[in-house]
Amino acid sequence: MKHSAAYPINIKSAVLPSGTNAGADPLNQRTLEQSAFKRERVLALTLCIDASLRFLPMPANRKTLKERPVADFIAPPQNSASPFADMRGHHVAVRTPDLDTAKRWYVEKLDFRVIAEWDYADEKLAYLAPATDDHFYVEVLGGGESAPKEVRPYTDLGDSLKYRGYHHFCLNVTSVDETVEKLRSRDVTIVTEPFELAAISRRLAFFSDPFGNLIELAEVLA
């Protein structure tokens, strides 16, 4: 196999072990030459591969450093010594009068996926997940003999903060403004138009499900 002229192999430059007289032993000289030749071939191949990779097209789903989203909050060190170290966030639950109506809204308006469905006493429940997120679920509880009371008729974010209890859950998105327009095109009720909250470097907006439950959108600002 011929080696490239771009990476010439210099047998004479091979470093001999201390006390070795290469000229006195032809077999030893041949072994050293072969060893040096192999080392040079490996180096040449490595450099060639590295140079080739520089010109390979970037995968469509790979983002450059500038395109990647800004890092979220820097959390303090994890407390692995905690007796609750096994705790992980999993889902948020929303009580609704009717599971089918809620499920259809999440699937048709937000493109959520139905992960699981089951019965509990006289209620029907389901886990729903965003289109590409397998680590966050919304648990919808519907039906029941004692139907839940209607949610407060929130008129805006300020009004909603007057009441105690469950308030909202949040979905991170790349662009709040674009997402709001997509939701509006699907006749979703926008409760609060996009606004910026500098204290947490976020652009936010709020919308509601058919029963008035609030859902927040958040975009991390650069």
Q: Which overall architecture, per CATH, does domain 89-149 show? A: Roll (3.10)
Instruction: Report domain extents, the chain.
Output: 11-53, 89-149, 150-222
pLDDT attached to residue 152? 78
State which H helix or E strand residue 138 sits in: strand 137-143
Instruction: Return all residues near 43 (Cβ < 8 A) that are at least 6 apart.
Output: 7
| 150-222 has the same fold as 89-149 | yes
DSSP string, 85-123: TT----EEEEE-S-HHHHHHHHHHHH--EEEEEEEETTE
Show pLDDT as tens, one digit a residue, over the chain (222 residues). 444 444 444 444 444 445 555 455 555 566 656 666 666 665 555 555 454 444 445 555 544 434 545 557 888 999 999 999 998 999 999 999 999 999 999 999 999 999 999 999 899 999 999 999 999 999 999 988 877 888 777 888 988 888 888 899 999 999 999 999 999 999 999 999 999 999 899 999 999 999 999 999 999 997
Record the tokens describing residue 215, joined without a space: 């859902």
Q: Which overall architecture, per CATH, does domain 150-222 show? A: Roll (3.10)
Distance CA 45, CA 26 (A): 28
Model confidence over 23-72: pLDDT tens digits? 555 555 666 566 666 666 655 555 554 544 444 455 555 444 345 455 57
pLDDT attached to residue 222? 79
Distance CA 216, CA 208 (A): 9
pLDDT attached to residue 145? 80
